[in-house]
């Protein structure tokens, strides 16, 4: 409850008083810290979608850090967002988002640490394991069960 900011109607990056959103909040259900259907989590996913997302890419946060304001999206955050959408029941939207993210892979199917939302240029470590794990995680979550497959 201390991470809930009633003014923002979202969970925030730090306890007791910050207004900053952080995409790592999307992991809370995966960590067992909040139920994916908790209205506060649903509101947080929606706030992150409005404020940290540019197209299918998601910034980790927007506030200034030791390097200034972030200029590129942290790739794995977009996969966290896909999983969060699925966890709140917006599975078709999650699938669409996932398909758009896959278009950023290079000819070898790899992704970098960061992607510039304006140019699509890959930045940072390459290939980035976190980004590749994001693909796997989302693919597993969004896959249909064997029983329901055609």
Q: Coil, strand, or helix at residue 54?
A: strand
| pLDDT greater than 80 at residue 117 | yes
Predicted TM-score of the model (pTM) = 0.92
Q: Which residue has the higher pLDDT, 6 or 32?
A: 32
| Half-sphere exposure in the Cβ direction for 90 (13 Å, CA) | 17
**Domain ranges across the chain:** 4-148
Question: CB neighbours (10 Å) of residue 109?
Answer: 10
E strands, 1-67, in order? 4-5, 10-11, 53-54, 57-58
Q: Class for domain 4-148, per CATH?
A: mainly alpha
Model confidence over 44-86: pLDDT tens digits?
999 999 999 999 999 999 887 788 888 999 999 999 999 999 9
Predicted pLDDT of residue 147: 65
How long, in residues, is the chain? 150
């Amino acid at each position: 409850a201390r991470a809930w900011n009633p003014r923002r109607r979202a969970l925030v990056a730090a306890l007791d008083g910050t207004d900053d959103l952080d995409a790592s909040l999307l992991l809370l259900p995966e960590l067992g810290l909040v139920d994916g259907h908790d209205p506060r989590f649903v509101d947080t996913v929606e706030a992150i979608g409005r404020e940290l997302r540019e197209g299918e890419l998601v910034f980790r946060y927007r506030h200034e850090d030791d390097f200034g304001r972030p200029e590129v999206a942290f790739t794995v955050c977009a996969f966290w967002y896909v999983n969060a959408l699925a966890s709140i029941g917006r599975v078709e939207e999650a699938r669409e988002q996932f398909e758009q993210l896959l278009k950023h892979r290079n000819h070898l199917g790899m992704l970098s640490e960061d992607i510039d939302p304006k140019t699509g240029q890959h930045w940072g470590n390459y290939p980035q394991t976190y980004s590749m794990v994001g693909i796997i995680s989302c693919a597993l979550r969004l896959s249909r069960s064997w029983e329901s497959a055609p």
